[in-house]
């Protein structure tokens, strides 16, 4: 019997995780089965517990269950606790469910390994203050940029995040402040940014945060945590405004999966062929 893994979400039919993990398993010769399980919020915890009771070895968790996944776990890694959310569940040696979060490390690996970006000493603008932004803030601080500014449509949420992560940022000498949302379109005395990350879900409604051409340093990268068959509205706007490079979140998706796979199986898959296969699938969709 192959070891059983699954991704839990709601909805889940568009999930690329089964494709990614099956490709990793084929590549590394691991005997496992990986399925997608739709669980509504009210049934999520019970469905996950049943999955593990019936022999499941590990799980990924996606929208809207990442906070609930952390809550149901008996234990959690420091990075899941910091993120306040989990995207990966595994069993400890004594059979307890433990929560982890590989999103942040996935983002950093994509930025640094796939795209060759150095973050140390750079100026970063992070758009959004929801779960996605919270999940990547600690790893971004750990990369020791010179400054991270956080802008969110609802100012109070950005201020709360900055307050929560201020001690960590201060420890590492990273300036962590907010930038008023209205100033994105009219930045006052803000020096330009080397990297602008979109962690809002604005793309879901086809909109982009308000941006100005003066936000971008000459070599600036625009990175959207979301991805699709065509560039997100944020990436389209960034390119028009002179961002030197635009990158979507497909690489982050593959890298976070690889980190989960490593956690479960103790084997690091090669991510590039799987990334290229997914990129080709998206390209084929766009060409339709
Ligand atoms: P996620 O887990 O994807 O981060 P979330 O916690 O609901 O989801 O957070 C969504 C983020 O996208 C928030 O920062 C939200 O801004 P608010 O805090 O003001 O709600 C942001 N967001 C969603 N739609 C947006 C839009 N149309 N324009 C700007 N920001 C938007």
Q: What number does the ligand 1 atom closest to the CA of 63 have?
A: 2
Sheet of strand 245-247: strand arrangement:
175-178, 147-151, 123-127, 193-198, 216-224, 245-247
Of all residues in the chain, what percent carry a pLDDT higher than 90?
94
Tens digit of each residue's pLDDT (9 = 90 or more) over 29-61: 999 999 999 999 999 999 999 999 999 999 999
Q: Whose CA is nearest to atom 9 of ligand 1?
A: 130
Q: Which CATH architecture has domain 3-101+251-287?
A: 3-Layer(aba) Sandwich (3.40)
Around ligand 1, the residues with Cβ closer than 6 Å are 128-133, 152-154, 157, 200-202, 205, 207, 209
- Which of these CATH numbers, 3.40.50.720, 3.40.630.10, 3.20.20.20, 3.30.300.30, describes 104-248? 3.40.50.720
pLDDT surpasses 90 at 288: no
CATH 3.40.50.720 occupies which residues in the chain? 104-248
Ligand 1 atom nearest to CA at 207: 27
Average pLDDT of the chain, as a whole number: 96
Query: Which pTM does this prediction carry?
Result: 0.96
> Which tens digit of pLDDT belongs to each residue from 141-195?
999 999 999 999 999 999 999 999 999 999 999 999 999 999 998 876 688 999 9
Q: Per-residue DSSP letters for 141-180?
A: HHT--SEEEEE-SSHHHHHHHHHHHHHHHHHTT-EEEE--
Instruction: Give me the pLDDT at residue 232, please.
Output: 96
Q: In the chain, which segments carry CATH 3.40.50.10860?
A: 3-101+251-287
Per the annotation, the verdict on 134 as an active-site residue is no
């Amino acid at each position: 019997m192959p070891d059983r893994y699954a991704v839990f979400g709601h909805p889940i039919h568009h999930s690329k995780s089964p494709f990614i993990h099956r490709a990793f398993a084929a590549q590394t010769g691991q005997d496992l089965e990986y399925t997608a399980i739709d669980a509504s919020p009210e049934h999520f915890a019970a469905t996950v517990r049943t999955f593990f009771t019936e022999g499941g070895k590990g799980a990924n968790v996606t929208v809207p269950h990442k906070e609930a996944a952390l809550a149901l776990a008996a234990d959690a890694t420091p990075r899941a606790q910091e993120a306040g959310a989990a995207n990966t569940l595994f069993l400890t040696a004594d059979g307890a469910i433990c929560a982890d979060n590989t999103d942040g490390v996935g983002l950093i690996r994509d930025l640094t390994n796939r795209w060759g970006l150095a973050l140390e000493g750079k100026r970063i603008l992070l758009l959004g203050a929801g779960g996605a932004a919270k999940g990547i803030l600690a790893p971004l601080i750990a990369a020791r940029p010179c400054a991270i500014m956080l802008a969110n449509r609802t100012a109070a949420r950005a201020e709360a995040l900055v307050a929560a992560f201020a001690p960590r940022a201060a420890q590492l000498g990273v300036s962590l402040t907010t930038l008023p949302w209205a100033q994105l379109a009219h930045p006052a005395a803000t020096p330009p940014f080397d990297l602008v990350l979109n962690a809002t879900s604005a793309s879901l409604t086809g909109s982009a945060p308000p941006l100005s051409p003066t936000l971008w340093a000459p070599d600036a990268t625009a990175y959207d945590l979301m991805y699709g068959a065509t560039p997100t509205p944020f990436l389209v706007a960034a390119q028009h405004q002179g961002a030197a490079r635009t990158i979507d979140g497909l690489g982050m998706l593959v890298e976070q999966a690889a980190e989960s796979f490593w956690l479960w199986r103790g084997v690091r898959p090669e991510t590039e062929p799987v990334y290229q296969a997914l990129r080709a699938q998206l390209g084929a969709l766009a060409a339709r």
